[in-house]
Amino acid sequence: MVGVIEKRDIRKLSLEEVKTFFVERGEKSFRAQQVYDWLWKKAAKDFDQMTNLSISTREMLKEHFTINHIRVDNMQRSEDGTIKNAVTLYDGLVVESVLIPTKDRITACVSSQVGCSLDCKFCATARLKRMRNLSPDEIYDQVVAIKQQAELFFNRPLTNIVFMGMGEPLLNYINVIEAITKLTSPEGLNMASRRITLSTVGIAKMIKKMADDDVKFNLAVSLHDAINETRSAIMPINETNPLEDLADALKYWYKKTKRKVTYEYVVWKDINDTQEHIQALVKFCKHIPCKVNLIEYNPIDDGVFQQASPEAVQRYQSTLEKNGIVARIRKSRGKDIDAACGQLANKS
Q: How far is the CB of 168 from ligand SAH (least distance, A)?
A: 4
By DSSP bridging, strand 261-266 and strand 132-133 are unpaired
Give the contacts of 267 (CB within 8 A, at least 6 positions apart): 273, 294, 297, 307, 308, 312, 313, 316
219 lies in the binding site for ligand SAH (CB under 6 A) = no
Rounded CA-CA distance 329/205 in Å is 30
Active site residue 116: no
246 lies in the binding site for ligand SAH (CB under 6 A) = no
201 lies in the binding site for ligand SAH (CB under 6 A) = yes
Which helix or strand (DSSP H or E) is residue 223 part of? none
342 lies in the binding site for ligand SAH (CB under 6 A) = yes
222 lies in the binding site for ligand SAH (CB under 6 A) = yes
- Dmax (CA) of the chain: 74
142 lies in the binding site for ligand SAH (CB under 6 A) = no
204 lies in the binding site for ligand SAH (CB under 6 A) = no
Residue in 122, 140, 252, 284 binding ligand SAH, rule: CB under 6 A: 122
Q: How far is the CB of 40 from ligand SAH (least distance, A)?
A: 25
Sole window of 6-14, 15-23, 39-47, 291-299 interacting with ligand SAH (rule: CB under 6 A):
291-299
134 lies in the binding site for ligand SAH (CB under 6 A) = no
Active-site residue among 16, 96, 187, 311?
96
Taken as a whole, the chain contains a residue count of 348
183 lies in the binding site for ligand SAH (CB under 6 A) = no
Contact 122, 266 (CB under 8 A): yes
CA-nearest of 318, 202, 227, 325 to 280 is 227
Active site residue 96: yes
End-to-end CA distance of the chain: 40
173 lies in the binding site for ligand SAH (CB under 6 A) = no
Report how many residues bind ligand SAH under the rule CB under 6 A: 16
Among positions 300-339, residues that touch ligand SAH (CB under 6 A) are 300
The CA angle 290-196-339, to the nearest 5 degrees, is 95
- The set of catalytic residues is 96, 341
